[in-house]
Amino acid sequence: MSLAMSVRPGDLKVISLISTGHCLSHMYQLALPNLFFLITVKEGLSITSLALLTSVFFVVSAIGQIIAGFLVDKYGARPILFLGFLLISFATAAFAFANSYQLMIVLSFLAGLGNSVFHPADYSILNGSISEKNVGKAYGVHGFGGLIGYAVTPYLMYVMGTFFGWRETMLIIGIVGICTAALMWTQRRDLRDSGLDKGIGAGSVREGIGILFKPATILSFLFFCFMAMGSVGLMTLGPDALTALLDLSRDKASYTISLQLTGSLCGILIGGIIADRIKRHDIATASIVTLAVLLVWSVPGFQPTNMPILILIFVVFGFAYGMAQPSRDMVVRSVAPSGAAGKIFGFTYSGMDVGSSVAVAIFGFLLGGGEPKLIFILVGVFMMIGVASVLLAKVLSDNKPIAE
């Protein structure tokens, strides 16, 4: 039975809407960086100054996710999601008319602020709208949408930017986001959140901050942080590390990392089905991630130069990493007390932005120092610290599941 056939129509509508928005949010994260090759020529800006725009985006998004989580629990997920969606869409479209670098900085700030709402609002709506037996599948498709956004954006921006120009491309994808947000607004009655729509109050700000400082919540944050340090570090500098370690050509190294992402796309959908059929999501997450770590450690251990074997290692690694994601989200769901889904998911997912920024700095330093082997070792070490964090988070959690 296919995934669509096993999900009731009401669930399917909500999953489709939220996952489409998630896909677009990931496209917006990568859209401008993948147009730098045109912007440097057309506008005379350096790569360093353009990279600062991306840094502004992610720093604002990381901090904003925590604040957005509180707002979602207090005012409901729908208005916060729509406001954020419109903000990132308008800011993206407005790059078409930016006539100064200072204005581009402001637009990056606004886009990052808009991006900050998606994880807390999306998960609150999925938890509040999807029937209990399909929550894992919903998490899987939601994650799949995000990965699709990451996968198609580099090539799509290259084609559109070359054909239309960078300003026109930003305008087009911004308008697509505005239209999608408008469509979601027409279906807003089906998008129920896990707090206010169930009559559950958010509590005071002090109580909310107290929840974030609970050991289970901090450990969940650390889990996302260390997992991102491993996975994002591999996605960003993996091709360079493979080239240096195994003396591969750049195209073969990039192709291998791209196939890893393909494996993740398949794994995350299967992981969603599995997550709905098991109880110990913490054990499942830890087991699957450990398998992934053993695979990535085989690269510096055996240094395989046979391309079919190397590709198989990375495809299976990607598959395992993707398969673990829905169970990972179910663990975070299980440690979130009623009325706090927004702030918990907002806070824990901000760990991904923190981990990503730290990993790129560390791995860049190692690569510059001629230590590509150490990069693959540390990817596994970071992920195993993440495994320990998620197991401890479940043990120390004293909350009832959101569904109760």
Are residues 308 and 388 located together in one domain of the fold?
A: yes
The reply to whether 21 falls in a domain is yes
How many CA atoms does the CB half-sphere of 256 hold within 13 Å?
A: 29
Are residues 253 and 368 located together in one domain of the fold?
A: yes
Distance CA 25, CA 225 (A): 20
Q: How many residues does the chain have?
A: 404
The reply to whether 2 falls in a domain is no
Helix ranges (H only) for 247-306 are: 250-275, 281-302
Q: Which domain holds residue 103?
A: 9-202
Question: How much is the pLDDT for 46?
Answer: 86
Mean pLDDT taken over the chain: 85
Question: How much is the pLDDT for 404?
Answer: 42
Q: Are 226 and 382 in contact (CB under 8 A)?
A: yes
Chain-centroid distance of CA 370 in Å reads 30
Are residues 266 and 340 located together in one domain of the fold?
A: yes
Over range 318-338, report the average pLDDT: 80
Burial 314-326 (b: 16+ CB within 10 A, else e): bbbbbbbbbbbbb
If you ran DSSP here, which 8-state letter would residue 35 be given?
G
CATH number at residue 163: 1.20.1250.20
Question: How much is the pLDDT for 199?
Answer: 52
**Cα 16-329-5 angle, rounded to 5 deg:** 35
Share of the chain above pLDDT 70, in %: 90
196 or 331: whose pLDDT is higher?
Answer: 331
Residue 316: pLDDT band (50, 70, 90) is very high
Say how many domains are in the chain: 2
Are residues 271 and 339 located together in one domain of the fold?
A: yes
Are residues 141 and 243 located together in one domain of the fold?
A: no
Are residues 258 and 284 located together in one domain of the fold?
A: yes
If you ran DSSP here, which 8-state letter would residue 76 be given?
-
3-state secondary structure of 277: coil
The reply to whether 62 falls in a domain is yes
Question: How much is the pLDDT for 50?
Answer: 85
Question: How much is the pLDDT for 379?
Answer: 92
Distance CA 365, CA 229 (A): 14
Instruction: Give the residue from 179, 202, 225 where a domain finishes.
Output: 202
Question: How much is the pLDDT for 213?
Answer: 79
pLDDT beyond 60 at 153: yes
**Which range, 151-165, 341-355, 373-387, has the best average confidence (pLDDT)?**
373-387
Are residues 75 and 219 located together in one domain of the fold?
A: no
Are residues 159 and 102 located together in one domain of the fold?
A: yes
Instruction: Give the residue from 167, 202, 237 where a domain finishes.
Output: 202
Helix ranges (H only) for 187-214 are: 205-212
Are residues 198 and 265 located together in one domain of the fold?
A: no
Helix, strand, coil content of the chain in percent (nearest 5): 85, 0, 15
pLDDT beyond 70 at 225: yes
Question: How much is the pLDDT for 352?
Answer: 81
The reply to whether 3 falls in a domain is no
pLDDT beyond 80 at 204: no
3-state secondary structure of 393: helix
Question: How much is the pLDDT for 43?
Answer: 92
Are residues 358 and 337 located together in one domain of the fold?
A: yes
Distance CA 317, CA 323 (A): 10
Over range 381-393, report the average pLDDT: 89
Over range 161-185, report the average pLDDT: 95
Are residues 238 and 297 located together in one domain of the fold?
A: yes
The reply to whether 401 falls in a domain is no
Instruction: Give the residue from 185, 202, 219 where a domain finishes.
Output: 202
pLDDT beyond 70 at 384: yes
Are residues 244 and 341 located together in one domain of the fold?
A: yes
Over range 168-194, report the average pLDDT: 91
* Structural tokens at position 159: 């084609």
